[in-house]
């Protein structure tokens, strides 16, 4: 597939590398923007508060399948929207999904080491299902459907629980997963 990734950081750059390794054709777009009219799917991986600016700098995104990977850490969605993903839908009017926001980019290089494929949540529109599930599998994840696009707000808020788990109980869990003699 031809995939345009907006944001070249940990998530955008990391997913682009994984998908390139799986044989996809990647277009990597930074804050200077660009033209995504050739892309079959567009992934947004910019800071949550930059979603409006990032989309405004991109041409040719209307009607495209877009997967929004942003989290909103300390920021609200654009005014009038309950999630960044629904804001994306309002700008593009194409098939829209939320995914890749509940897994850590720092582990992309270790997905293949898991004893079974790690799950990765996605919610969104049925028209996006084929692409978002394929791109999950081609990154090494098993897609886990979490309902319609209206659930994107809950999926964005879910990151607060993930941070809570990491700051609380994750130490012993990580120790079991990777004891020092295996590091």
Ligand X SMILES: NC(=O)c1ccc[n+]([C@@H]2O[C@H](COP(=O)([O-])OP(=O)(O)OC[C@H]3O[C@@H](n4cnc5c(N)ncnc54)[C@H](OP(=O)(O)O)[C@@H]3O)[C@@H](O)[C@H]2O)c1
Selected range binding ligand X among 49-57, 115-123, 130-138, 145-153, rule: CB under 6 A: 49-57
Instruction: Confirm or reject binding of residue 149 to ligand X (CB under 6 A).
Output: no
- In the complex, minimum distance from the CB of residue 144 to ligand X, in angstroms, rounded to a whole number: 15
Q: Which of 90, 104, 110, 114 binds ligand X (CB under 6 A)?
A: 104
Instruction: Confirm or reject binding of residue 155 to ligand X (CB under 6 A).
Output: no
Query: What DSSP string describes 26-41?
Result: EEEE-TT-EE-TT-SE
Cβ proximity to ligand X, 70 vs 92, nearer residue: 70
Instruction: Confirm or reject binding of residue 46 to ligand X (CB under 6 A).
Output: yes
Q: What CA–CA distances, in Å, run from 139 to 13, 19, 85, 88, 174?
A: 12, 6, 21, 22, 22
Instruction: Confirm or reject binding of residue 101 to ligand X (CB under 6 A).
Output: yes
Instruction: Confirm or reject binding of residue 135 to ligand X (CB under 6 A).
Output: no
Instruction: Give the residue among 7, 11, 3, 5 at the shortest CA–CA distance from 102.
Output: 11
Instruction: Confirm or reject binding of residue 53 to ligand X (CB under 6 A).
Output: yes
Instruction: Give the residue among 42, 99, 38 at the shortest CA–CA distance from 65.
Output: 42
Instruction: Confirm or reject binding of residue 31 to ligand X (CB under 6 A).
Output: yes
- In the complex, minimum distance from the CB of residue 99 to ligand X, in angstroms, rounded to a whole number: 10
Selected range binding ligand X among 7-15, 19-27, 89-97, 138-146, rule: CB under 6 A: 7-15
- Please, are residues 49 and 75 in contact by the beta-carbon 8 Å criterion? yes
Instruction: Confirm or reject binding of residue 9 to ligand X (CB under 6 A).
Output: yes
Contact partners, residue 95, CB within 8 Å, separation at least 6: 65, 66, 124, 125, 127, 128, 131
Instruction: Confirm or reject binding of residue 99 to ligand X (CB under 6 A).
Output: no
- In the complex, minimum distance from the CB of residue 156 to ligand X, in angstroms, rounded to a whole number: 9
Q: Which residues of 59-97 are buried (b: 16+ CB within 10 A; e: fewer)?
A: eebeebbbbbbbbbeeeebbeebebbbbbbbebbebbbb
Which residues contact ligand X by CB under 6 A?
6-12, 30-31, 45-48, 50, 53-54, 57, 69-71, 73, 101, 104-105
């Amino acid at each position: 597939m031809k995939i345009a990734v907006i944001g070249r950081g940990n998530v955008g750059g990391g997913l682009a590398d994984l998908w390139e390794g799986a044989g996809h054709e990647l277009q990597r777009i930074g804050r200077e923007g660009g033209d995504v009219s050739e892309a079959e799917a567009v992934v947004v991986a910019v800071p949550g508060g930059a979603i409006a600016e990032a989309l405004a700098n991109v041409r040719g995104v209307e009607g495209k399948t877009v997967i929004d990977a942003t989290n909103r850490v300390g920021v609200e969605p654009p005014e009038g929207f309950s999630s960044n993903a629904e804001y994306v839908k309002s700008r593009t009017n194409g098939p829209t999904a939320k995914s890749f926001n509940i897994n850590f980019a720092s582990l992309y290089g270790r997905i293949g080491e898991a004893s079974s494929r790690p799950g990765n949540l996605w919610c969104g529109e049925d028209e996006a299902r084929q692409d978002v599930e394929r791109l999950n599998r081609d990154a090494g994840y098993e897609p886990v459907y979490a309902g319609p696009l209206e659930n994107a707000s809950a999926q964005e808020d879910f990151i607060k629980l993930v941070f809570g788990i990491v700051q609380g109980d994750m130490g012993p869990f990580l120790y079991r997963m990777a004891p020092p003699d295996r590091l």
